[in-house]
Amino acid sequence: MADAKVIPFDDDRSRTGASPRPVRRRPGTGRRKGAAEAVAVREVPVGAVPGQPDREQPGGSAVGAAGAAGAGTAGTGATRETGPVRNAADGGRGAAGEPPVADSDGYGTRGGPGAWDRRLAGGLAFLRRRLTGDYEVDEFGYDKELTDQVLMSLVRPLYEKYFRVDVKGIENIPSDGGALVVANHSGTLPLDGLMMQIAVHDKHPAGRHLRLLAADLVFVLPVINELARKAGHTLACSEDAERLLQQGEVVGVMPEGFKGIGKPFSDRYKLQRFGRGGFVSTALRAGVPIVPCSIVGAEEIYPMIGNAKTLARLLGFPYFPITPTFPWLGPLGAVPLPTKWTIQFGEPIPTDGYPPEAAEDPMLMFNLTDQVREQIQHTLYKLLVQRRSVFF
């Protein structure tokens, strides 16, 4: 036993003079060139502060203890070469408030240089797909990738910072399968539809996409037509709506139409007529639930105090609004007021329990239409009572 060699636990044979044992590696797992230089980032024990005696750091007690045990022994002058270590307790920051340390593959933590590299690479890949035509568009013209990465990103600052939309009852929209969301319409310009679309996508646990049914005027305007198609909007007709619902999509409709967004400010939050109940017939044929939706805050963005009907007829518009700022301030008058919005999705009304011929029953359609309208109106009054201020 006198001539036995003692090998330390960490198998550092360079310290004892023993010949190193060959290392076996599986094919494809060899070290990259220059990996040794990348590993030796800090020659200090883990958990120690440079220039100060070794001590445990907050959130890294276990790692610090292992560093103290694996560091060089007293009198040998050896130090432990540590690779990049991230402290999970402080969000990836090192000791004493050091900046995030990059991973060994070159990508950093959130907000580090690696995150920007990934964003740049993703943006370049997106541009390459757009230029080469390597993207998908459905039969209605909906471009999911463009909508998620560009169109919604352009409108999201209005949703989050300007109107500060508060969403309630988002869990009433099913996680899968078709559903028909029926909402009130207001605001002179149809910004409420865009805010509702972002609310469903950003707040729903399943990240669902809302396919809005738009009026025919939207699809005759030169630029708006293409953007609306790309964003998933389609013509407000029962055939397109039924096809989307049968495909398992969430479809949004605002039955008030131009009567809702073009009503005077004195009639704010008073629902207009819901048409002839065509949306109820569509939901009955598809067998999907109807989800009432109430939007508060859109009525005040453009207080409509007048309507230039003659000018509207000349331009081919359903109305030409006159507000306290438009047209008196020119383009500046088109800036909406920064009101505080609330969007609440109510309890769904099931339709799958009715027989197939129920879609042709006028009395049933009338009753369901009136039920949806009353539920939206009641929720609007309740939200108005709870609201403390239009802007805050």
Q: Which of 58-72, 273-287, 377-391 has the lowest mean pLDDT?
A: 58-72
pLDDT single digits (tens) 139-179 = 999 999 999 999 999 999 999 999 999 999 999 999 999 99
Return the pLDDT at 135.
Answer: 87
Identify the three-state secondary structure at position 296: strand
- Alpha-helix residue ranges (DSSP H) falling in 204-337: 222-230, 238-246, 258-261, 278-286, 309-315
| Structural tokens at position 149 | 């990465």
- The whole-angstrom separation of Cα 381 and Cα 256 is 17
pLDDT single digits (tens) 57-111 = 434 433 333 333 333 333 333 333 334 433 433 444 444 444 444 443 333 444 5
For domain 144-301+336-386, is the CATH number 3.40.1130.10? yes
Beta bridge pairs of residue 294: 344
Residue-by-residue DSSP string for 45-78 = -TTPPTTS---PPTT-HHHHHHHHHHSPPTTT--
Identify the three-state secondary structure at position 295: strand
Return the pLDDT at 116.
Answer: 87
| Phi, psi at 179, each rounded to 5° | -160, 145
Q: Which of 110-114, 174-178, 240-244, 291-295 has the lowest mean pLDDT?
A: 110-114
Identify the three-state secondary structure at position 39: helix
Q: Where are the domains of the chain?
A: 102-134, 144-301+336-386
* Omega cis (within 30) before 327: yes
Return the pLDDT at 112.
Answer: 59
Chain mean pLDDT for the chain: 78
1 or 154, which is more confident? 154
